[in-house]
A = this chain, B = another copy of it.
Amino acid sequence: MTARSGTLFQGLSAFPLTPADEAGTVDTDALGRLVDRLAEAGVASIGVLGSTGGFMYLTRDERRRAVTAAVEAASGRTPVIAGIGALRTDEAVLLARDAEAAGADALLLAPVSYIPLTEDEVFEHVAWIAAATDLPICLYDNPTTTHFTFSPALFARLAKVKTVGGAKIPLPAEGSVAVQLEELTRETGGAIQFGYSGDPRLVTAGLGGAKAFYSALAGALPKEVMSLHTASVSGDAARANEMNARFEPMWNLFRKHGGFRVIPEIAQILGLCSARPPRPVLRLPDAERTKVGAALAQLEGL
């Protein structure tokens, strides 16, 4: 059995930040440069407006500008997956249509919530959005930010929605990736291609047999993360773990502050763009920024 969207939801997907000013106006030139860099590096896909891309902090207009700029910059070299999560179903439908009109190749749908949602509500939400667009949909299971957790039974229901082809899920807190992948693939009849996110455990996912990884760090450091990803999916655990040791200072910063606060500092240090997280999220304090520089130095020459 193969996922219905072919290889779209396979390989290393890189999620850049969305450079924007303090008022939330996207710097489309800077975003275009980030996307071009990812396409040049040869990542499998580019995820614009993911959590790292701050989708929940941008208006519909700014999100449309961001997707348009990303699609133009990728210029057919690399598929673009656009985040369309919104608290209201009708808003997510509009965002899906905007992304389709802008030329995105697929949609990333996070069931963000304020009032905690039931499984029936998330099912209907996804089905409603799927009915409004022809694009393949990747479900985004990220309980830390959406406060919703997909059960295997819900994935099985959603596998019957024709355009649902992928899912971006967190690694299991306990237990093996391989066992989880086998269970979820069985439950969904192979219709959904499951991939992981949560950069500090990229190697665990790769060694566990994950065919897809959705990486925030790859949005800023595509070459380095591609090397790590290649090592992890090659099955050479010794090599992957050896390489991963060099990423450990960076993973510690991710664990401590979240990638959302660390990645703008990386972009700043590397001169990729000037970017700060949107308030209320604050920049890292000076001492932590110094550690980001040191963590980057560990990756030189990869």
Q: Which of A173-192 contact B (CB under 8 A)?
A: none
Q: Are B147 and A117 in contact (CB under 8 A)?
A: no
A149 on interface, CB distance cutoff 8 Å: no
> A23, A87, A116: which has the most chain B beta carbons within 10 Å?
A87
Binds B, one of A1-9, A234-242, A277-285: A277-285
CB neighbours (8 Å) of A278 from chain B are: 88-89
Question: Residue on B with the closest CB to A257?
Answer: B118
Copies in the complex: 2
Q: In the assembled complex, which residues on chain B have CB atoms less than 8 Å from the CB atom of A122?
A: 280
Is B23 a contact partner of A279 (Cβ separation < 8 A)?
no
Supposing A23-B90, A90-B23 touch, asked if A115 and B279 sit within 8 A by C-beta, the answer is no
The smallest beta-carbon distance between A227 and chain B, in angstroms, is: 28
Task: Please indicate the chain B residues that have their CB under 8 angstroms from the CB of A118 in the complex.
Answer: 282
Question: With an 8 A cutoff between CB atoms, is A208 at the interface?
Answer: no
| Contacting residue for A114 out of B24, B112, B115, CB 8 A | B112
Across the two chains, which residue of chain B brings its CB closest to A277? B115
Encoded as 1 (CB less than 8 Å from any B CB) or 0, chain A from 85 to 107 comes to 00111100000000000000000
Interface assignment of A243: CB less than 8 Å from any CB of chain B: no
Partner of A56, one of B87, B125, B260, B281: B87
CB distance from A202 to the nearest CB of B (A): 20
Instruction: Say yes or no: is A121 at the interface (Cβ < 8 Å to chain B).
Output: yes
B24, A258: Cβ atoms under 8 Å? no
CB contact list, A111-129 vs B, under 8 A: 111-112, 114-118, 120-122, 124-125, 128
> Would A280 and B57 count as touching, CB distance under 8 A?
no
Given A51-B115, A121-B281, A128-B280, 20 additional A-B pairs, CB 8 A: A23-B90, A24-B90, A51-B114, A57-B87, A57-B88, A57-B114, A88-B279, A88-B280, A89-B279, A90-B279, A111-B280, A115-B258, A115-B260, A116-B145, A116-B258, A117-B280, A117-B281, A120-B282, A124-B279, A125-B280
Residues on A facing B (Cβ under 8 Å): 22-24, 51, 56-57, 87-90, 111-112, 114-118, 120-122, 124-125, 128, 144-145, 147, 258, 260, 277-282
